[in-house]
Structure 1
């Protein structure tokens, strides 16, 4: 049986009545073509929701769907697989998931898995409330039970920064049944038929911004791990042109991308401390239009974030590409 033939049969669990409060559809009620929607040459049709809701991410026009990453995300959504996308910050890992969800009208929420996130925030805790003029101790559910009961995609951002204590909560959630236990009240929360969980990670093996090395047993619970793709020069140029306008600023766009990739190579060689992410590239392009100055935009989008010891080398490369360290007026 092909992927497209099996895609509808996986949605068959009864849903929670709590969803009615958000007026969300429980199950996908239509199918879309992978070729037509994602520009990927694959004869397959994916379950989707015919109408958007308030949890569907906004559309980013012109978004470029990488084939491998898109197919992994779609496999996670269609077959309820756990997908972890690893790659440098600012490469659009979470945005890629959001834009796939956008095309499917599949609601999603993002949770930043930083060091300050606690078990009580995720699972819930007992709270003292006043009911009928009496104080009563009642368990208040956290983010995970709320999300688990709904037909949404839960995106765990910066999963590698999450503490081992908090990460242990997801051991059972990442299992085949995808449920969680609430020890405080003895409840077992079962997932909605259309609940999915995906995550992004800067690295799997620890780095300066990743405080905890990934446990191999826990990592094994993720069905699919994919490395975020690196965009080519032409792909980055296309993104910048969508902001600056290809007709009047094509040459400027090429120089912006050229300098960004030049600085990126220097960072890879250890000569610069701050990487030039795709996020910084797009921010530079947007600020160029807002401030009507390439130099000023570059300073605010990237240069001011760098160490003072790196700035001389950055100025040299800027001069090499643009011919001057002064602000350049956009024509």
Structure 2
């Protein structure tokens, strides 16, 4: 169905940055008037960070390569998706895990049988498919990808980049509205399962931005959108307060796992589903923690909520 759909290949309208992204800037950016199946779904109430949003917009408008670096669960990929959503710009995400192969990205030769007999045919991979379309390609978890696989993108990341396919001698140039962005938790391979960025490859990214942490007020707004009104007094405030306490402990090295924004929102959602703040906290965060950390976490939970991890909310 995706292969058959009709895509506008160039933006045909302009939208106000101030009105759409709530950023105090008198500027207009190109956008598509009609969405298609590749446009991400709208996430109502999403809070656009000014710096991150402007970098993403610069990447889309001026065809710059943008790499967003930040802690897991901070909404890096979601931020790109929501900018694309507001512009009706198609978006595809590829998880750059260590098992990704060249044949999956570029393609491979395969043997097919026709009426004249067996024929060797080249089957294109994900990258040539994406290059031919007016879409934003997001490379998720870029620091988990092996260096030899990243080298495939070297020429593509250059200005007016393209890819060469030695197997069939083809050179594939990108669509006029094709864009490429990436997300990463680190640049220096400092986490388990990640690889240090090669300086020559890193230099090909036009813009590298550190995704900011959400403030407590921003987190509170997100939690309130999910929790809504309950009979439990100040429940949203208490959830965010505990998250702030645990984050400080993690920053001091007293906890091994931070309560990310992703886990925080999961906690809020599970609170509604399970009708229990404590059970939701257990499944969204506590069960992920080391046994040695759980006593301290439970202690802080009790301080904030006034009871152990099993209170209900109705």
Give the alignment's TM-score, normalised by structure 2.
Answer: 0.97
Tell whether 2:127 aligns with 1:130: no
Local SS of the residue matching 1:78? helix
Could you tell me which runs of 5 or more consecutive residues in structure 1 were left unpaired when the two chains were aligned: 1-18
Residue among 260, 273, 294 paired with 1:290 = 273
Tell whether 2:6 aligns with 1:23: yes
The answer (yes or no) to whether the contact 2:55–2:66 under 8 Å persists in 1 is: yes
Local SS of the residue matching 1:155? strand
Local SS of the residue matching 2:118? strand
Residues 97 and 248 (structure 1), Cα distance of their counterparts in 2 relative to 1, 3 Å cut: farther
User: C-alpha deviations, 1:3-27, integer Å up to 9, x for none?
Assistant: xxxxxxxxxxxxxxxx983211111
Tell whether 2:96 aligns with 1:113: yes
CA distance in 2, matches of 1:151, 1:258: 43
CA distance in 2, matches of 1:250, 1:41: 35
Local SS of the residue matching 1:169? helix
Tell whether 2:227 aligns with 1:224: no
CA distance in 2, matches of 1:205, 1:229: 18
CA distance in 2, matches of 1:176, 1:183: 21
Structure 1 residue runs of 4+, over 4 Å off? 246-250
Aligned to 1:8: none
Residue among 278, 281, 290 paired with 1:307 = 290
CA distance in 1, matches of 2:140, 2:309: 38
The answer (yes or no) to whether the contact 2:164–2:172 under 8 Å persists in 1 is: yes
The answer (yes or no) to whether the contact 2:39–2:84 under 8 Å persists in 1 is: yes
The answer (yes or no) to whether the contact 1:86–1:226 under 8 Å persists in 2 is: yes
The answer (yes or no) to whether the contact 1:153–1:196 under 8 Å persists in 2 is: yes
The answer (yes or no) to whether the contact 1:292–1:330 under 8 Å persists in 2 is: yes
Aligned to 1:140: 123
Aligned to 1:59: 42
Between Structure 1 and Structure 2, how many residues are aligned?
A: 313
Give the alignment's TM-score, normalised by structure 1.
Answer: 0.92
Aligned to 1:159: 142
CA distance in 2, matches of 1:256, 1:226: 29
Tell whether 2:55 aligns with 1:72: yes
Aligned to 1:199: 182
The answer (yes or no) to whether the contact 2:277–2:309 under 8 Å persists in 1 is: no
CA distance in 2, matches of 1:223, 1:310: 41
User: C-alpha deviations, 1:269-310, integer Å up to 9, x for none?
Assistant: 111111111000000000000000000000000011111111
| Aligned-residue offset at 1:209 | 3.0
Could you tell me which runs of 5 or more consecutive residues in structure 2 were left unpaired when the two chains were aligned: none
The answer (yes or no) to whether the contact 2:163–2:171 under 8 Å persists in 1 is: yes
Coordinate RMSD, CA, aligned: 1.3
The answer (yes or no) to whether the contact 1:203–1:210 under 8 Å persists in 2 is: no
CA distance in 2, matches of 1:126, 1:320: 62
The answer (yes or no) to whether the contact 1:202–1:210 under 8 Å persists in 2 is: no
| Aligned-residue offset at 1:133 | 5.8
